[in-house]
Structure 1
Amino acid sequence: MRTAFPETGRAADALLNEMDSRTAGDIDWRNGRTPLYVFKGSESAAEIGKAAFNAFFTENALGGKRAFLSIGGMEREVIEMGLDLFHAPGGADGHMTTGGSESIFMAVKAARDAHRASGSKIGEQLNIVMPESAHPAFDKAARSMEIEVRRVRLAGDRRADPAAIAEAADDRTMMTVASAPCFPFGVIDPVAAVAEVARDRGLWLHVDACVGGYLIPFAKANGEPLPDFDFAVEGVRSISADLHKYGFCPKPASTLFFRDAEDMARAAFDLDVWANGRFVTHTIAGTRPGGAVAAAWAVLNHLGHDGYRAIARDLLANARAWREGIEALQGFHMFAEPDLTILNFGARDVDIFAVADRMAKGGWLPGRTQNPRGMHLMLSMFHAPARQDYLADLGAAAEAVRREGGASAAKAVY
């Protein structure tokens, strides 16, 4: 039965109590039982982020240049900090969005409009050539703009294959993609090699660093042997990086950067079509929460380089401990050599989805990948205290499947 609109209002205490009771069926995310969706760097970062968000709860970031100059100024400083972090040249620019999908959408729009500016005509079928591991947000944007998507094979190490990209590209290819890292396997694509193809073929290269953008620079500063992925690589034309993932800022907050401010202008919607006058946004959204901007500014300034380096060190140590624990169990193996905090593993002697089904019955939310069939973890500091329990339950679930047999008909759904 459809929920009817309430005839009368209810007391705040009653509503708060009901909302709290409704969480009884949620996965216990605070204790690390979900493999994605939420992120933790430190208690202090979470506290300052929440406080800043609430302090600017009512402000609208759409009015950051006219009404809420405080929000506009903080957003500008967040962007400048990102430009500094990602080795942007003079003339580069960027803006905040509500998430990685929106950042990617706006990058695709900019690339399409740049291709049109170079001579292609409206109605001509443009295409994006990208690795099969690239995020579906590119497909969402492509379907919205009637752009063909050509997903190409990966190399043996599950990274992008520059030769496959070059082979699939043609004169109507408007964009190619590298991920830092890709979500399915947690590996950083060879951005420099893909950039060489992009330069040779005249392609727009977008680096999807939504996962790793605010983690890789600090891990590298700690001495991790990770490749360059940002504007330090000639040929990278735009970068998306989520603040609400490993930037540990409250949702919704992402950033999108362009090597050239002219490209950022192409991403904008600049409309003078109605009675009110000119309407300009660099996002699909009009209204955006001012709290998300203020919280991002507060968290970046609270942590600074030293804070992010400390978190990066702890995160990677935690991820290595998880990997070692999983590989120590009978039959489990990684599908790729993880660069950061994403693990994707399979099982040699049992149906791993059947194992995942048993983990779900034990109160875990199992991440699954369909090709190949595997289990997936996107680790943050929420997961550090959960590791031993997870490993014990994973081993027990695998033994039960070995003993009792069976296969799972479950699908990998996100």
Structure 2
Amino acid sequence: MDTRFPEGGRPRAEIDAALDAMAAGDVDWRGGRVPLYVFGATAEVGEVGRDAFMRFFTENALGAKRAFTSLRRMEEEVVAMALDLFHGPEGAVGGMTSGGTESILLAVKACRDGARARRGDPAHRGNLVLPVSAHPAFDKAAALMDLPVRRIPVRADLRADVAAMAGAIDADTILLVGSVPCFPYGVVDPLPELSELALSRDLWLHVDACVGGYFAPFARELGRPIPEFDFALPGVASISADLHKFGFCPKPASTVFFRDAARAAGRGFDLDVWPNGRFATATFVGTRPGGGVAGAWAVLNFLGREGYRALAARLLAMRDDYVAGIRAIPGMRVFGEPDLSILAFGAEALDMGAVAAGMEARGWVPGLVREPPGLHIMMSLLHEPVRERYLGDLREAAAEAAPAQGAAVQAVY
């Protein structure tokens, strides 16, 4: 690695060759070898998103109001389309962000600031009550805002335990969380029950649909047993949903929504003591790539409901085939009943760390889950053509693995 700032420029051909050489060491994500990070639909969908992104490669969404009104219109239309999808009531608002973590951070901040205003206490440290399976972004938000977090064990079916969460609520609780689906197990939490709990305790319920927000509605339309999870439930105050996951849009692109403007009031940043004048943003970041906005607008319009239903049908059929193949391996079981295309699975009698090592030796990046010890995959259509090879390698790796010794598998994402 050269750590010196280059004295002179390098030829374009040399730069391209160097980039190709560095990329040669990456795992073959296009060949379905990576269990997360990238999400593929069809080649045409990818081209639509890429071309729109590159068309607005230089534009900055920070200037959408004053300079790049095209981006403002596209973002407003993306938000409007999504609110239609998520049954947004009259007065619901939302915006685009850089990703699920930022969407969650904004929702937690809006909840915290709203709770402080209602209590008349600008320093109130309200706590968050969430299932142990909820995403670490909530803890990241809480760490930044100095808020206590209470993670509650899930039920035997790996879904949020609403009764246990109710028991953890106290006078300082401000936020409840449910996932669509949770990342560790791929199951959707019982949002109708969580909505009732939130209403009965006058609490903010955030639905983390970062993974499944642009997948679950179409799975429901196809008749899959996905419970209601969006603003159709009266207790839902906010929703996060990533466009760059199963919306199949270019990164970075996520969305966050609020039931009404009052709840959204605390999400952004507003400063009016600067020599340049007032500085206000609805996001944590300032500069935002215009390509992310344009790519999302293009893909949503290209696919429409019909296109997303077709992709959901393929994903769910693929998921069912993977589940059947995993269950056919002696001793192997899928954890819970996955609702979308995240699978976690393992075998109590096997050292799952050794199984993971066997998969890695065969060229796969093994996703891992610690409790219970197992493997983890979040599948898009990149994983459709490699199913038989994956299952064959998994069968071989399981056959080679030693008996379980009680050590937990570890993963760092």
What TM-score, normalized to structure 2?
0.98
Which deviates more, 335-344 or 258-267?
258-267
Shift of 1:155: 1.1
CA distances 1:22-58 after superposition (whole Å, capped 9, x unpaired): 1122111000000000101111110000000000000
Query: Take 1:212 and 1:277, find their aligned partners in 2: how far apart are those partners?
Result: 40
CA distances 1:195-227 after superposition (whole Å, capped 9, x unpaired): 111111111000000000000111111121211
The residue type paired with residue 410 of structure 2 is: K
- Structure 2 residue 406 is matched with structure 1 residue 411: no
Which structure 2 residues correspond to residues 62-211 of structure 1 after superposition, within 5 A? 62-119=62-119, 121-211=121-211
Query: Take 1:410 and 1:312, find their aligned partners in 2: how far apart are those partners?
Result: 31
Q: Which runs of 5+ in 2 are unaligned?
A: none
Does the 8 A contact of 2:370 with 2:409 survive in 1? no
The residue type paired with residue 332 of structure 2 is: F
Shift of 1:122: 3.1
**Match for residue 247 of structure 1?**
247
Counterpart of 1:309 in 2: which secondary structure?
helix
Which structure 2 residues correspond to residues 13-412 of structure 1 after superposition, within 5 A? 13-119=13-119, 121-402=121-402, 411-412=410-411
Q: Which runs of 5+ in 1 are unaligned?
A: none
Shift of 1:124: 3.2
Counterpart of 1:79 in 2: which secondary structure?
helix
Query: Take 1:409 and 1:16, find their aligned partners in 2: how far apart are those partners?
Result: 42
Query: Take 1:385 and 1:132, find their aligned partners in 2: how far apart are those partners?
Result: 33
Shift of 1:348: 2.6
Query: Take 1:2 and 1:25, find their aligned partners in 2: how far apart are those partners?
Result: 18
Shift of 1:7: 1.2
Shift of 1:406: 7.8
Shift of 1:410: 5.4
Which deviates more, 131-140 or 276-285?
276-285
Does the 8 A contact of 2:110 with 2:266 survive in 1? yes
The residue type paired with residue 395 of structure 1 is: R
Shift of 1:399: 1.1
Does the 8 A contact of 1:354 with 1:407 survive in 2? no
Shift of 1:409: 7.5
What TM-score, normalized to structure 1?
0.97
Query: Take 2:412 and 2:266, find their aligned partners in 1: how far apart are those partners?
Result: 34
The residue type paired with residue 413 of structure 1 is: V
Are residues 389 and 269 of structure 1, via their aligned partners in 2, closer, same or farther at CA, if it must alter by over 3 Å? same
Query: Take 1:116 and 1:409, find their aligned partners in 2: how far apart are those partners?
Result: 41
CA distances 1:39-97 after superposition (whole Å, capped 9, x unpaired): 01111110000000000000000011110000110000000001100000000000000
How many residues are matched? 413
Does the 8 A contact of 1:353 with 1:407 survive in 2? no
Structure 1 residue runs of 4+, over 3 Å off?
405-410
Query: Take 1:313 and 1:386, find their aligned partners in 2: how far apart are those partners?
Result: 18
Counterpart of 1:266 in 2: which secondary structure?
coil
Query: Take 1:410 and 1:214, find their aligned partners in 2: how far apart are those partners?
Result: 31
Are residues 409 and 123 of structure 1, via their aligned partners in 2, closer, same or farther at CA, if it must alter by over 3 Å? same
Counterpart of 1:338 in 2: which secondary structure?
coil
Aligned CA RMSD, in angstroms, stands at 1.4
Does the 8 A contact of 1:131 with 1:165 survive in 2? yes
Query: Take 1:246 and 1:161, find their aligned partners in 2: how far apart are those partners?
Result: 26
Query: Take 2:239 and 2:381, find their aligned partners in 1: how far apart are those partners?
Result: 25
Are residues 252 and 203 of structure 1, via their aligned partners in 2, closer, same or farther at CA, if it must alter by over 3 Å? same
Shift of 1:125: 2.6
Query: Take 1:288 and 1:30, find their aligned partners in 2: how far apart are those partners?
Result: 27
Query: Take 2:165 and 2:172, find their aligned partners in 1: how far apart are those partners?
Result: 13
Query: Take 1:331 and 1:398, find their aligned partners in 2: how far apart are those partners?
Result: 9
Shift of 1:302: 0.2
Does the 8 A contact of 1:269 with 1:280 survive in 2? yes
The residue type paired with residue 309 of structure 1 is: R
Shift of 1:402: 4.2
Shift of 1:408: 7.0
Counterpart of 1:262 in 2: which secondary structure?
helix
Quote the sequence identity (%). Answer: 56
